Amino acid sequence: MADTALMTIPGQIDPVTVPREVTARQDGKVDLIGLPRSRIAELFGEAGLDAKAAKLRAKQVFHWLYHRGVTEFASMTDIAKTMRPWLAERFVIGRPQIVESQHSVDGTRKWLLRTADGHEFEMVFIPDETRGTLCVSSQVGCTLNCRFCHTGTMRLVRNLTPGEIVGQVMLARDALGEWPKGSMAGFGDDDDETGGDYTSDGRLLTNIVMMGMGEPLYNFEHVRDALRLVMDGDGLGLSKRRITLSTSGVVPMMARAGEEIGVNLAVSLHATSKEVRDEIVPLNRKYGLDELLTACAAYPGASNSRRITFEYVMLDGVNDSDDDARELVRLLKQYKLPAKVNLIPFNPWPGAPYGTSPPERVRQFAEIVFAGGISAPVRTPRGRDIDAACGQLKTAAEKKSRAELDRLAEEKQAALG
Ligand code: SAH
Ligand code: SF4
């Protein structure tokens, strides 16, 4: 599968990702997904178009890629027929490959995906009455080793590219059948318009959370560039208010995340004392609670109408006492944080060193936080029947034979295309 070796982890507590090249495509073509419009225009210019034509074509192609979700240049009906093969000879429209997909009885869907150079990662879609949330990965594996997290048991293989990150959202739209139908009358220099009304919908997938595999702030630039395409009105057009980035507490990158991306922030707090957080989120030994909560208080854009979410995984007998709940309220108030708390029942995985707090304990904990004036919903476990904990699908799949996975991948691709 992968033709790149596992990367060495340079440290134990704060192993900053070493940038590593993605294996280049063997056909030498450039994947346009993940590139800003200006870069697409530059590439068209380098390939021989004059500046004006390059800019116009880039605008048209960008619209087809992100508004209509086409995966073939041949489908770009307002681009001259002779131009379409010219594009196809030089460029591709990428999507992560689907290795395996699972559909839970509660509507949760989970995909095991593969990069063009053979690395596997995950994506999950969670629908409820009012929204549909896509959980997006930022890295293959993770350099951090949170003790309750299954991804934390894997080594970091590499950062995902902007194309592989925004590609997850596009793949979800493909699978959910959410690209607008109809033509683009009035857009660009139509030369063989086919007629019909262009309507934009997208009701199923309404929210995005960067809570899949990996630490998004250790792949900051790629995550930023991908989310800019997701938020771009000419791109996928999702409001920044519907996007949440979750970090385990990479303090030095938090201000930049607020300034350069501006999405909602979620922080994986999980403990209220140095001792416990040092153990379960080892990054705490590098950036402690005081530094973390100070950075949260300074997060650009946080306010009472845009609260910071503090994630708190409930581990039986570790961090779930009444005193922990009271200390949590005290800390959030001490730093004057516009906060809400998300209580997550621990999702067990084989060999995990922790157990799930009993429902009664979770309820009592939630009540104390709520009585302290802080909203504390308990996140209902979803997709329990489909290996829901992050990283489990990847591990389960690794036990299957390579031939079986390749066959599954071909089937899924055929079903989609
Ligand atoms: N690396 C980032 C985002 C990915 S993890 C972060 O740590 O915030 C997304 C969330 O899932 C985090 O809050 C993480 O702590 C939590 N999580 C990881 N494994 C879990 C498990 N087995 N059960 C419940 N929550 C888990
Ligand atoms: Fe990495 Fe987040 Fe898992 Fe920690 S919880 S190991 S930061 S993915």
Terminal alpha carbon distance of the chain: 23
Ligand 1, residues 135, 147, 149, 349: which to mutate, most atoms within 8 A of Cβ? 149
CA of 301 to the centre of ligand 2 (A): 24
Q: Please name the residue whose Cα sits nearest to atom 24 of ligand 1.
A: 346
Ligand 1 pocket residues where CB is under 6 Å: 146, 148-150, 211, 215, 246-248, 268, 311, 313, 344, 346-347, 389-390
Q: Please name the residue whose Cα sits nearest to atom 4 of ligand 2.
A: 146
Residue 347 CA, closest ligand 1 atom number: 23
Cβ(379)–Cβ(344) below 8 Å: yes
pLDDT value of position 13: 55
Q: Which ligand is nearest to the CA of 379?
A: 1
Give the phi and the psi of residue 31 in degrees, each rounded to 5.
-80, 125
What number of H helices and E strands is found in the chain?
12, 13
DSSP per-residue codes, 135-148 = E---EES-S---TT
Q: Please name the residue whose Cα sits nearest to atom 1 of ligand 1.
A: 215
In terms of CATH architecture, what is 97-415?
Alpha-Beta Barrel (3.20)
Q: SS3 for 382?
A: coil
Ligand 1, residues 153, 268, 276: which to mutate, most atoms within 8 A of Cβ? 268
132-135 sheet: strands from edge to edge: 97-103, 109-114, 120-127, 132-135, 207-210, 243-247, 264-268, 308-314, 339-345
Residue 142 CA, closest ligand 2 atom number: 1
CATH fold of 30-92 reads DNA polymerase; domain 1 (1.10.150)
Q: SS3 for 159?
A: strand
Q: SS3 for 190?
A: coil
CA of 208 to the centre of ligand 2 (A): 18
Note the pLDDT tens digit of each residue in 189-217: 333 333 334 333 446 899 999 999 999 99
Active site residues: 122, 390
> 165 to each of 189, 209, 356, how far by Cα in Å?
31, 12, 31
Helices (H), ranges, 159-288: 162-176, 220-231, 254-260, 274-280
Q: Please name the residue whose Cα sits nearest to atom 8 of ligand 2.
A: 214
Q: Which ligand is nearest to the CA of 389?
A: 1
pLDDT value of position 194: 37
Q: For residue 221, count other CB atoms closer than 10 A to its CB.
A: 12
Going by their DSSP bridges, the two strands 109-114 and 139-140 should be labelled as unpaired
Ligand 1, residues 215, 245, 246: which to mutate, most atoms within 8 A of Cβ? 246
Specify which residues 208 forms β-bridges with.
134, 243
Cβ(4)–Cβ(117) below 8 Å: yes
Ligand 1, residues 123, 150, 211, 308: which to mutate, most atoms within 8 A of Cβ? 211
**Residue 290: partners with Cβ closer than 8 Å, 6 or more residues away:** none
**N residues, the chain:** 417
CA of 149 to the centre of ligand 2 (A): 6
What does pTM read for this prediction? 0.87
pLDDT value of position 168: 98
Say what the alpha-carbon torsion angle 385, 389, 394, 397 is, to the nearest 10 degrees: -20
Residue whose pair of structure tokens reads 């854009």 in the numeric block? 301
Note the pLDDT tens digit of each residue in 100-158: 999 988 889 999 999 998 999 999 999 988 889 999 999 999 999 999 998 888 888 89
Q: Please name the residue whose Cα sits nearest to atom 3 of ligand 1.
A: 211
Token pair for 167: 């590609």
Residue 391 CA, closest ligand 1 atom number: 19
Q: For residue 70, count other CB atoms closer than 10 A to its CB.
A: 17
Ligand 2 pocket residues where CB is under 6 Å: 142, 144-146, 149, 151-152, 214-215, 248, 268
Nearest alpha carbon to residue 2 among 131, 147, 137, 118: 118
Token pair for 168: 């997850």
Q: Please name the residue whose Cα sits nearest to atom 13 of ligand 1.
A: 268
Domain ranges within the chain, ordered by starting residue:
30-92, 97-415
Q: Which ligand is nearest to the CA of 343?
A: 1
- DSSP-derived letter for residue 373 is T
Kindly tell me the burial class for residue 51, based on how many C-beta atoms sit within 10 Å of its own C-beta (0-12, 13-18, 19 or more).
exposed
**How distant is the alpha carbon of residue 91 from its chain centre?**
25
d(CA 13, CA 281) in angstroms, rounded, equals 9
d(CA 97, CA 114) in angstroms, rounded, equals 5
CA of 145 to the centre of ligand 2 (A): 6
Low pLDDT (below 50) residues in the chain:
1-12, 183-202, 391, 401-402, 417
Token pair for 93: 């429209």
pLDDT value of position 26: 83
- DSSP-derived letter for residue 151 is G
CA of 144 to the centre of ligand 2 (A): 6
Q: Where are the beta strands (DSSP E) in 282-359?
A: 308-314, 339-345
> 222 to each of 34, 36, 103, 225, how far by Cα in Å?
9, 12, 29, 5
